[in-house]
Structure 1
Amino acid sequence: MQPASSRSLHALALCLATLMGCSGTSEETVQQTSPLSGIAMADNVCSLCHGLTGESASPRFPKLAGQQNEYLQLQLSDFKNHGRSAETDSRYMGGLSHLTKTQIAELADYFASQRAMQADSGTPDARGAVIFHQGLPERGVPPCSACHGKDGGGNGVIPRVAGQHASYMSHQIMVLQQTGQRPNGAPMLPVDHALTPADAESVARYMAALGAKQ
């Protein structure tokens, strides 16, 4: 029997091979050569950045805990099909082209079923609260709550924002101003273009403080 450390390294190597294999491999071949379940991938690969339950410690990586299932599947499919071209997306997630539909569904089910991401313990941002609940009518910005829900929980392909890392969300608002990097974020273009970097940071801080505290 192999030592536990050796087995762990072997499992990790297999997981990485799943994510970074040859771009010409078909989904059927990947299924035959890498039968890892979504849960195994979450445990051995995704957890390295996002945390075992999706409650990532670093704001560089988004929290996935309790995220909307449909949204997770859409984003994983975008990574698989190289539909997200922002530099950080390509750097960290560029090897997901060989995810199978089954693995995508299992990963989404796993993270969506976790306890919802925990809110930032910081004081809610007053300016952000206005933007989130009332919008900025003078600039044509609707309230964020109109789509993301008054509690920031999201719905379907609209992501949960309550409890997400503030710096991650403010960065994504800026990325979404460039729809070429996030084509599926095109509906956000009119909203995001009307937000200044200061507004983006304010509403991101407010959304991070929504939900259950840690």
Structure 2
Amino acid sequence: MTGWKGALCGGLAGLGLSAAVVAADFPPVDLARAEEINMGRCFLCHGAEGESSTALYPRLAGQHYQYIAKQLADFKSGKRKSDTMVNMSAELTEDEMLALGVYFEQKPTRPQEVKDGELAAVGQFIFRRGNEYAGVAACATCHGEKGLGTSQLPRLAGQVPQYTESQLRSFNKRERTNDNAIMHSIASKLSELEIKAVALYISSLN
């Protein structure tokens, strides 16, 4: 793998095509095109560095590129509902979706400051241990002890708490129309306090 990647990097550099990225953990994509798309449409909600421009929208920085590409494809197909994102993804190609995923995954991440330590402590308990009395599984079981997720499951660490809250409520009400089966069974058993607590704790992870 190192040989062909090295040759490709050298060839691109010789042609002046620095837009393509080739790294050990990422597929070769056109980062210049991804940046163009981001600055043309994504940054208004998600921020120039994927840091989220407001509390309403998710942070994309550090999110797994496979997950971002899948969500964009789901928006485009209508599998995941959102008037805004359906429109934003309508003309994206598979290559562009993949490029955007790689672009945002490489952006720096940072935890959010938590001002309510007691509420965050409740969230930590739910995240790590769940709630056996309500049948709630620990978030860490799927998303990892540090909330870093996998290529198939989203990174939660550092996510905007209000966005995490809104998604848990959407799963509970089945308004989130993709990735719903497992998450509905969990979200439907969370109390409002637990939703706020776990979302706050998640935001403090990095």
Q: TM-score, normalised by structure 2?
A: 0.78
After TM superposition, give the deviation of residue 121 of structure 1 in Å: 0.8
Is 1:51–2:47 an aligned residue pair? yes
Kept after mapping to 2: 8 A contact 1:76/1:104: yes
User: Normalized per residue, which structure has more strand?
Assistant: 2
Kept after mapping to 2: 8 A contact 1:82/1:97: no
After TM superposition, give the deviation of residue 84 of structure 1 in Å: 1.6
Map 1:154-193 → 2, pairs under 5 A: 154-179=149-174, 181-193=176-188
Superimposed CA distance per residue, residues 102-135 of structure 1 (whole angstroms, 9 cap, x where no aligned partner): 111111110011112x211114411111100110
Superimposed CA distance per residue, residues 156-198 of structure 1 (whole angstroms, 9 cap, x where no aligned partner): 1211111111011011000011335322232211111110122
- How large is the RMSD of aligned CA atoms in angstroms? 1.5
After TM superposition, give the deviation of residue 138 of structure 1 in Å: 1.4
Superimposed CA distance per residue, residues 10-30 of structure 1 (whole angstroms, 9 cap, x where no aligned partner): xxxxxxxxxxxxxxxxxxxxx
Whichever residue aligns with residue 80 of structure 1, its letter is K
From 141, 146, 156, the equivalent of 2:141 is 146
SS at match of 1:47: helix
Aligned positions, number: 171
Q: Distance in 1 between matches of 2:163 and 2:176?
A: 16
Which residue of the partner structure matches residue 113 of structure 2? Answer: 121
What is the percent sequence identity of the aligned residues?
31
From 32, 38, 42, the equivalent of 2:38 is 42
Which residue of the partner structure matches residue 3 of structure 1? Answer: none
Whichever residue aligns with residue 91 of structure 2, its letter is H
Q: Distance in 1 between matches of 2:179 and 2:113?
A: 31
Which residue of the partner structure matches residue 91 of structure 2? Answer: 98
Which structure 2 segments of 5+ residues have no match?
A: 1-31
After TM superposition, give the deviation of residue 82 of structure 1 in Å: 1.2
Which structure 1 segments of 5+ residues have no match?
A: 1-35
Q: Distance in 2 between matches of 1:180 and 1:59?
A: 20
Which residue of the partner structure matches residue 5 of structure 1? Answer: none
Kept after mapping to 2: 8 A contact 1:121/1:209: yes
